[in-house]
Amino acid sequence: MADEPPIVFVVDDDPSVRDGLDSLFRSVGYAVAAFGSVQDFALHRRLERPSCLVLDVRMPGPSGMDFQAELAGMGDPLPIVFLTGHGDVPMAVRAMKTGAVEFLLKPFREQDLLDAVRAAIERDRARRAQEASLAELGARFATLSMREKEIMAFVVAGRLNKQIAADLKLSEVTVKVHRGQVMRKMGAATLADLIGLAGRLRR
Amino acid sequence: MSVGEAMRVLDRERFRLGKAGLGLSLALLAAAIFLADTYTDLEIAVAVLYVAVILVSVWFDRPAVVLWVGASSAGLTILSYLLTPRGAEHAGLVNCLLSLIAIGATTYLAIRIEAAEARARQARAELAHISRVTMMGELTASIAHEVSQPLAGIVANGHAALRWLAATPADPAEARRALERVVADADRAGDVIGRVRRMVAKAPPSRETVDMAALIEDVLSLTRSEIRKAQVTLRTDLADDLPPVIADRVQLQQVVLNLLVNAAEAIGQQETGPRDMLVGAATDGERVTVSIRDTGVSLAPAAIERIFDAFHSTKPGGMGMGLAISRSIVEAHGGTIYAAANPPRGMVFGFTLPVRAATAERNHG
């Protein structure tokens, strides 16, 4: 998976711009999937790879802005780089507020576009990495026994072994053993690590 | 053949024959009058018929030609008088003088008419030009978009080509394809500029064979982004059997442009509802009809009646000249322009042009 190139999705109704972007992104090593309309793109099954969308704002049918809202409504976090032929400031502001990575005016500078796409892909990659690690953390947490989960909650809350033992009516040694298991299973080296992991799980 | 009939025939033939043919017809008519004048008795004032020749010569749109035709007619009248073998001398002389007076007066009036028409033509051309340039100004954003689009293509393709060539190993096939797109885009940008230049050109009025469908496509290519901005779904229904019309291309482009922009604005003005535009061109063999239907704001019948009047605008900030100029252009081509409601909503604007624009040349401007 890691070796596969990130995918840039291009949606532009102008065939020449579309083909040009397709060629440009491939020439810098991305995989590209280009579409003439947002409807075509929406029908496309996306692979689980870091990706971003380069989207023309103004197209026949639903506009790029409408589509951005639609994706956001579906909870789709795909980062978007907007291209537009019109220098429309309110539109740019709206797009950026709704989470666009960049809003570029045609004709754009190549470097600006590549930088924006790189940033967008990085954003997606970081999000995927975070999601993956969160999923892994969840899986680890799931391996804890009920008792271990209980003890972890106390530990994270800052209570001492002695206090926990008293609370749960256990021996301090038993608490220590459980606590060691929790640290091992959660992959935490220190108490601070464990607190951090618990914080991420809670979010 | 009566004078009126002769004029109608000439009028009809004018477009078929062109100016050379018209000149020949006039010369033949003059010769026929000369022969009739010479071979009839002196008492019969056939020479008065030269008046018709002079009136027809106004169609050349050149005062010098009218003057020359008048002078020739006078010369021929005198020559006929001298050559006519039979008839009463005295009555003949009086007839000859009366004919000369008629010819002189007609020539004078014809030159005056011609000059007035030239001025009117000039004024109309100026006005149309101003309105066209104004409209192109309003379309600046749209035109900029039409140019920026190929430029974006050039930027992307050009850099892609450089990268394919610099890659190891280089990929000349990819680079070549990218460069081909660069060239195509450069041509496309050039075409847009060419179209703009032709639209704002202060071209003298001309008559040429115009392919209406191509003309409409041309105008659409300049307004596409304007139409898109109004989020209009555009459909075209251009018949492929349209006969060419003889018309002034720039002026007809202006009419189509005007109707298109109006329709896009009418749709843009409304927040909800369908946003469709249908541009159609059809023919019944004798006429070509262009129509533009929109689903924008409908106008009341009373407003429709006045819509082609000058300085009558239904748009905020509108000058109210666009449709008035469009009507004058269409009518100068011997056609008619119309507006009607397009139930259930919106308007249809259109115009009809004769395939052979019979009475156009003299009046166009």
DSSP secondary structure, A169-187, as one string: T--HHHHHHHHHHHHHHHT
Question: Chain A residue with minimal CA distance to B166?
Answer: A27
What pLDDT, on the 0 to 100 scale, is given for residue B35?
Answer: 87
Whether residue A154 sits in one domain with residue A126: no
Q: How far is A7 from chain B (nearest CA, A)?
A: 17
User: B-chain residues within 8 Å CB-CB of A62?
Assistant: none
Q: What is the pLDDT of residues B128-155, one digit of tens each?
A: 777 777 777 777 777 887 888 899 999 9
- For residue range B226-281, list pLDDT tens digits in order: 787 778 889 999 998 899 998 888 888 889 988 988 888 888 888 788 889 999 99
Q: B148: distance to nearest CA of chain A, Å?
A: 5
For B280, counting Cβ atoms within 10 Å of its Cβ (0-12 exposed, 13-18 middle, 19+ buried), the class is: middle
* Residue B131 counted as domain residue: no
Asked if the structure places residue A56 within a domain, the reply is yes
- What does pLDDT average to over chain B? 82
Q: Contacts of residue B144 in chain A, CB cutoff 8 Å?
A: 85
User: Are B239 and B347 members of one domain?
Assistant: yes
Which among B190, B283, B146, B354 has a CA at the least distance from the CA of A86?
Answer: B146
B184 touches chain A (CB under 8 A): yes
Q: What pLDDT is attached to residue B154?
A: 94
Q: Are residues A102 and A190 in the same domain?
A: no
> What does the alpha-carbon distance between residue B34 and residue A21 come to, in Å, rounded to a whole number?
77
**C-alpha span between B46 and B103 (Å, rounded):** 12
* Candidate from B155, B160, B225 with C-beta closest to A85: B225
Task: Based on the fold, state whether residues A126 and A99 are members of the same structural domain.
Answer: yes
- Among A155-169, B51-65, B148-162, B183-197, the range scoring the smallest mean pLDDT is B51-65
Question: How many angstroms separate the CA atoms of A2 and B249, rounded?
Answer: 60
- Look at residue A45 in the predicted model and tell me its pLDDT: 81
ipTM of the complex: 0.74
Helix axes B63-83, B50-57, angle to 10 degrees: 170
Q: Which residue has the higher pLDDT, B293 or B143?
A: B293
Nearest CB partner across the interface for B152, out of A27, A58, A107: A107
Residues of B in contact with A105 (CB under 8 A): 148
> Does B134 map to a domain?
no
Question: Three-class SS of residue B214?
Answer: helix
Residue of B nearest to A14 (CA): B149
- Between chains, do A17 and B145 touch, taking CB under 8 Å as contact? no
- Please indicate, yes or no, whether residues A158 and A107 belong to a single structural domain of this protein: no
* Residue pairs between chains A and B whose CB atoms are closer than 8 Å: 90
B333 and B215 inside one domain: yes
Average pLDDT over residues B174-200: 89
Which chain B residues are Cβ-neighbours of A27 within 8 angstroms? 159-160, 163-164, 167, 174
Residues B120 and B98 in one domain: yes
Walk across the sheet containing B287-294 and list its strands. B233-238, B276-283, B287-294, B347-354, B336-341
Does residue A111 share a domain with residue A53? yes
Shortest Cα distance, chain B CAs vs residue A177, angstroms: 59
Shared domain for B77 and B225, answered yes or no, is: no
Q: Cα–Cα distance between B114 and A148 in angstroms, integer? A: 107
Does residue A123 fall inside a structural domain?
A: yes
| Higher per-residue pLDDT: B238 or B195 | B238
Mean pLDDT is highest, among B34-48, B91-105, B195-209, for: B91-105
A197 and A112 share one domain: no
Per DSSP, the residues of A94-157 read HHHHTT-SEEEESSPPHHHHHHHHHHHHHHHHHHHHHHHHHHHHHHHHHTS-HHHHHHHHHHHT
Comparing alpha-carbon positions, the chain A residue that sits nearest to B145 is A85
In this model, does residue B363 exceed pLDDT 50?
no
Residue A1 in domain: no
What tokens does B59 get? Answer: 């169609």
- Six-digit token string for B272: 């909800």
Q: Do B174 and A19 touch (CB under 8 A)?
A: no
The verdict on residue B54 lying in a domain is: yes
Tally of structural domains, chain A: 2
Contact between A24 and B141 using a beta-carbon 8 Å cutoff = no
Q: Are B25 and B82 in the same domain?
A: yes
Domain assignment of residue A2, yes or no = no
Residues B355, B216 within the same domain: yes
- Residue, of B282 and B47, whose pLDDT is higher: B282
Low-confidence ranges of chain A (pLDDT < 50): 1
Structural domain containing residue A185? 143-202
Q: Do A106 and B178 touch (CB under 8 A)?
A: no
> A89 and A66 in one domain?
yes
Asked whether the beta carbons of residue B144 and residue A28 sit closer than 8 angstroms, the reply is no
Task: Give the closest-approach CA distance of B225 to chain A in angstroms.
Answer: 9
B132 part of a folded domain: no
Give the closest of A17, A23, A58 to B152, CB-based: A17
Q: Provide the 3-class DSSP secondary structure of residue B360.
A: helix
Q: What is the pTM of this model?
A: 0.60
Residue B124 has pLDDT above 60, yes or no: yes
From B181, B201, B221, the end of a domain falls on B201
Taken as a whole, chain B contains a residue count of 365
> At which residue do the structure tokens 């041309």 appear?
B218
Do the Cβ atoms of B249 and B208 come closer than 8 Å?
Answer: yes
**B262 or B121: whose pLDDT is higher?**
B262
Report the CATH number that the domain containing residue A32 is assigned in CATH: 3.40.50.2300
Is pLDDT of B56 > 80? yes
Tell me: do B157 and B227 sit in the same domain.
no
Which B residues 219-248 touch A at CB under 8 Å? Answer: 225, 228-229, 231, 233-234
Test A23 with B156 for CB contact under 8 angstroms: yes
Domain CATH code at residue A194: 1.10.10.10
Question: Do B228 and B330 sit in the same domain of this protein?
Answer: yes
Q: Which two tokens stand for residue A87?
A: 């220098």
Residue B301 inside a domain? The answer is yes
Considering A133, A155, A174, which residue would you say is the last residue of a domain? A133
Number of domains in chain B: 3
**A85 and B148: CB-CB below 8 Å?**
yes
Q: Which domain holds residue B357?
A: 205-365
**pLDDT confidence band for B358 (50 / 70 / 90):** very low
- Domain boundary among the residues B104, B126, B148 is at B126
Whether A75 and A127 map to the same domain: the answer is yes
Q: Is the pLDDT of residue B203 over 70?
A: no
Cβ of residue B177 closer than 8 Å to a chain A Cβ: yes
Same domain? For B161 and B211 the reply is no
Say if residue A121 is in the same domain as residue A43.
Answer: yes
